[in-house]
Amino acid sequence: MAYSTKSVSGKTLTQAQNALPRQATYIRQLKRVVKEEIEEKQKDMFIEFEKHPVTREIAGGSSSSNLSGTLGGVGNLFTYIGFASGDRPLEPLLHLLKQYEISFHHTKAKSTVSIKVPTKEELFKATPMPWATGRSWAKGIETGISGLGRYLSTSDSPRSRSGGGIQVKGRIRTAKFHNVSYLSLILKDYYKSIEKLEKAI
């Protein structure tokens, strides 16, 4: 097999060498801009997360009121779900929501970027029920958490994990848990903004 060789002129080599620093500078600037854009979109998402009634109610602990309306005004989600006094159930969510990965792909024609952020499924896995690790309390907010008929809001029972509520044997009310959109609502616009950013590069 024969190979054809062509000499590279000094001018061509110099042009290529001069282009490398410009390309490296462009890539660094692109990475910085994309990082700043993602973190700006995260700020918007965290504003929505922090002001959501479910977040505020759980953050309020055992003394919170039922801001979300999920329990018909009885007790609060922190004690209903069964978190222990002193638990910080929102921290795993916050930790995961801050994470992202950026992958850049460069060709002669253009640069593209892929941005990976946590999925709802990953967030659900990070929010297990205190008494049933195979179930997610964050998902339960949207699909329902049974037991409201036997839920007694009280601060006087030594059996209470949270210090503010227990499950009793007999049914004491006929009310049902009122599902509300939580992470699905918060993440909808966040995912759209990330997808829009990928396409804008």
pLDDT tens-place string over residues 13-68: 455 455 545 577 877 888 888 999 999 999 999 999 999 999 999 999 988 999 99
Q: Please state the domain count of the chain.
A: 1
Q: Report if residue 10 sits inside a domain.
A: no
d(C-alpha 29, C-alpha 197), whole Å: 15
In tens, the pLDDT along 152-176 reads: 566 654 555 555 555 556 566 667 8
- pTM (two decimals): 0.78
Q: Report if residue 159 sits inside a domain.
A: yes
Q: Report if residue 138 sits inside a domain.
A: yes
Q: Domain containing 40: what range? A: 18-200
d(C-alpha 141, C-alpha 131), whole Å: 16
E strands within the chain? 101-106, 111-116, 128-129, 132-136, 151-153, 165-167
